[in-house]
């Protein structure tokens, strides 16, 4: 994932909503990031600290909720979780290899912010 461009996107969303709600400072940012959105978590806070340094979001702590990868089998309709390491060979546990639809794992949202 492109960390710097993505962090800029996060900051934009955060500042817009902080302003809309008349906040004087942002102290926390809650993100929902799917397992497939390949992002290096430890760099995210660092990039965010750097980009936000002259804004009201400076010092805000980022919390990441990771959403697991879940596929649904087109044949039987069952949903099943998949480990990232097995992503190349996704197969329904009941039906074996076949057509599958991604149900979750690509999320990339700013869920909430904590402001003062």
Q: Site residues (CB under 8 A) for other proteins?
A: 1-2, 5-6, 9-10, 12-13, 17-18, 21, 23, 27-28, 31, 108-116
- Rounded to the nearest whole angstrom, what is the least distance from the CB of residue 56 to other proteins in the complex? 13
Encoded tokens for 10: 């996060």
Task: CB nearer to other proteins: give 73 or 115.
Answer: 115
Contact 79, 95 (CB under 8 A): no
C-alpha span between 95 and 114 (Å, rounded): 45
Q: What are phi and psi of 82, to 5 degrees?
A: -135, 135
Strands 108-115 and 26-34, sheet pairing: antiparallel
Helix axes 41-51, 3-20, angle to 10 degrees: 60
- Rounded to the nearest whole angstrom, what is the least distance from the CB of residue 114 to other proteins in the complex? 5
Task: CB nearer to other proteins: give 31 or 69.
Answer: 31
Task: CB nearer to other proteins: give 104 or 109.
Answer: 109
- Rounded to the nearest whole angstrom, what is the least distance from the CB of residue 94 to other proteins in the complex? 24
Task: CB nearer to other proteins: give 24 or 54.
Answer: 24
């Amino acid at each position: 994932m492109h960390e710097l461009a993505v962090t800029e996107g996060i900051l934009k969303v955060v500042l817009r909503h902080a302003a809309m709600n008349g906040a004087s400072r942002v102290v926390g940012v809650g993100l929902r990031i799917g397992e497939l959105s390949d992002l290096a978590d430890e760099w995210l806070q660092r990039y965010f600290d750097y980009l936000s340094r002259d804004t009201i979001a400076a010092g805000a702590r980022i919390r990441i909720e990771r959403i697991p990868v879940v596929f649904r089998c087109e044949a039987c309709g069952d949903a099943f979780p998949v480990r990232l390491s097995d992503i190349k060979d996704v197969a329904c546990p009941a039906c074996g290899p076949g057509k599958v639809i991604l149900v979750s794992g690509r999320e990339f949202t700013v869920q909430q912010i904590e402001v003062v």
